[in-house]
Amino acid sequence: MLMLVLTLIANPNSRDISNELAREIANDIGTGSINWLADGAACDIGLLPSEATELKVSEMIAEAPIDFAIQPNENRRKKALIADMDSTMIEQECIDELAAEVGIKDEVSAITAKAMNGEIDFDAAVEKRVALLKGLNADVTDAIIRNRITFASGGATLVRTMKASGAYTALVSGGFTTFTSRIGATLGFDENRANVLETDDGKLTGEVRKPILGAAAKVVALNEIAGTLGCTASDFIAVGDGANDLPMLQMAGTGVALHAKPNVAAKSKIKINHGDLTSLLYLQGYCESEFVNG
């Protein structure tokens, strides 16, 4: 019989999972076994298959700030991580920060929000926003990264811990290589892929090199990396927040919508709304004692 595992995850700063709640769930709908991955922050509970289990867990958690996922216990620890960058590994949208340099951040941010929620075509939205940046000094990226980009909680720990276990890590973004190259290197990713902003005499031309790296290209990246590593999509854990991430999340063995846009969360099996990026380690069965902290 297929064995399933229920993983409860809370924000590591609040650690809202009580022993009483974990025991109640384990005894009521689980096998009775609890494996604490981090005190108050994450635990695994053994389950037997049941169509009603997810609903029961939701009812028992009620309004508590706790995320959960139900997965097969087999092949949980993945061989590769493929991650989005903007609003996932970092807390900003880089194109919005570029727009701030020319005083049109609100206008560009509105387009970004619609594209990330799947309300408008992603590729067209990239072209429209980049066109508004024509004439901007290309080297402004350095100052933006230095002064305004902040890393998402748990990101460096996620990358370093998986790499310490032999996993491959790829940062694949619908953003721009001027950001992914620096941010990917800082976080320790093995490779990064993103769009290329065209420049002329040190200034942005308002164009992005074709083809645009959108949703389809993220799937291509996953497949190409899997081929290079000699594994399959089932060996990947993927994380993102936007509509252009959704096909990648759905293809990966474990796809995680992290603090995702509403339309993306609604279509994703695993959603993390309260935890940080270390949640991806707990989903794979890592204990906090195994973390390589960033």
**Catalytic amino acids?**
84, 86
Residue 161 CA to residue 12 CA, distance in Å, equals 16
Angle at 188 between CA 38 and CA 202, to 5 degrees: 140
Half-sphere exposure of 182 (CA within 13 A, CB side): 16
Q: Answer whether 98's CB lies under 8 Å from 136's CB.
A: yes
Q: Answer whether 16's CB lies under 8 Å from 64's CB.
A: yes
Q: List the one residue out of 239, 233, 249, 242 whose CA is nearest residue 278.
A: 239
Site of tokens 């976080």: 187
Give the residue ranges of DSSP H helices in the chain.
Answer: 19-28, 53-61, 94-100, 105-116, 122-131, 140-147, 155-164, 177-187, 215-229, 246-251, 262-266, 279-283
Maximum distance among all Cα pairs of the chain, rounded to whole angstroms: 67
What number of other Cβ atoms are within 10 A of residue 279's Cβ? 27
Residue 187 CA to residue 83 CA, distance in Å, equals 12
